[in-house]
Amino acid sequence: MPVTSDNLRLLSDALAALYAPASDRAGQDFPARVVDVAVRLVPADSCSYNHFDGPRLLAWHAEPAGIGASPGSEQQFRQHLPEHPVLACHLVTGNGRALRISDFLSDRQFRSLGLYCDFYRGAEVNYQLAISLPAPGGGLIGVALNRYRYDFRAEELTLLDLLRVHIGQAAATVPLRPAAPAPPDPANSMLLTPRQARVLQLVADGQPDRGVARALGISTRTVQAHLQHAYRALNVTSRTEALARLQDR
């Protein structure tokens, strides 16, 4: 499908962020950077970076960080991985092109899976678009974009396919193992993800949650999740305190 000039500009911005020098990455490791870039290019309620070895999940980074964070959720996700139609196709064919779950299953079929009932339903994932590519150290890198209300369009598949090539090139130059979480450090309390900073910027401009959601193409629940994570990063409990803290700094 042809890519419009607007989408080419989006792709150009996304690639600039993907290949940004280390000094411009705001402390992001590679999985976090890939997730941020993918959502810049194709708006989604949530996004995850996964490193697979066959059906086994070796590493997982998601934004918002609390997505699917109920007790036992990671174990349930691992248990039901063989049911995932896109992952199964990528593993069998070796072609990691952008595919939607809806390319394989009807809504009713998807909602009957244990994968949906035990994991995706609680994470408010009704539609998913995913790509994969070989990991330089072995296994498979997967990137999944999720939405609650509506499915992904054909032009968004094209954009993610274009990004996929560059993720593979960038992955060859960096260590793929996500950095271990560092203990909380007050000196680092201002390190927000680009998406959290953008949400706070829109809030500072006077946008309500619904306005922020429309501007970013995400759900109000995701906006609220970003705000909660930002509050923890800033060591505050409300948007008023968060904005005051940003002004102080």
Q: Of the residues 171, 194, 218, which one is the last residue of a structural domain?
A: 171
CATH of the domain at 142: 3.30.450.80
CATH of the domain at 198: 1.10.10.10
Answer whether residue 177 is part of any domain. no
Domain that holds residue 11: 5-171
In this structure, the answer to whether residues 207 and 95 fall within a common structural domain is no
Predicted confidence pLDDT, tens digits, the chain (249 residues): 567 888 888 889 889 888 888 666 665 688 888 999 999 999 999 999 988 776 677 777 888 866 655 555 667 777 788 899 998 998 889 899 999 999 999 999 999 988 898 889 888 899 999 999 998 878 889 999 999 999 999 999 999 999 999 999 988 887 655 433 433 334 334 457 777 788 888 888 788 888 888 888 788 778 878 887 787 777 777 777 777 776 665
Answer whether residue 19 is part of any domain. yes
In this structure, the answer to whether residues 193 and 150 fall within a common structural domain is no
In this structure, the answer to whether residues 80 and 200 fall within a common structural domain is no
Q: Of the residues 122, 148, 171, which one is the last residue of a structural domain?
A: 171
In this structure, the answer to whether residues 68 and 137 fall within a common structural domain is yes
- In the prediction, which pLDDT does 198 show? 81
Q: What is the pTM of this model?
A: 0.69
In this structure, the answer to whether residues 32 and 128 fall within a common structural domain is yes
Domain count for the chain: 2
Answer whether residue 206 is part of any domain. yes
What's the per-residue H, E or C state across the chain? CCCCHHHHHHHHHHHHHHCCCHHHCCCCCHHHHHHHHHHHHCCCCEEEEEEEECCEEEEEEEECCCCCCCCCHHHHHHHHHHHCHHHHHHHHHCCCCCEEHHHCCCHHHHHCCHHHHHHHCCCCCCEEEEEEEECCCCCEEEEEEEECCCCCCHHHHHHHHHHHHHHHHHHCCCCCCCCCCCCCCHHHCCCCCHHHHHHHHHHHCCCCHHHHHHHHCCCHHHHHHHHHHHHHHHCCCCHHHHHHHHHHC
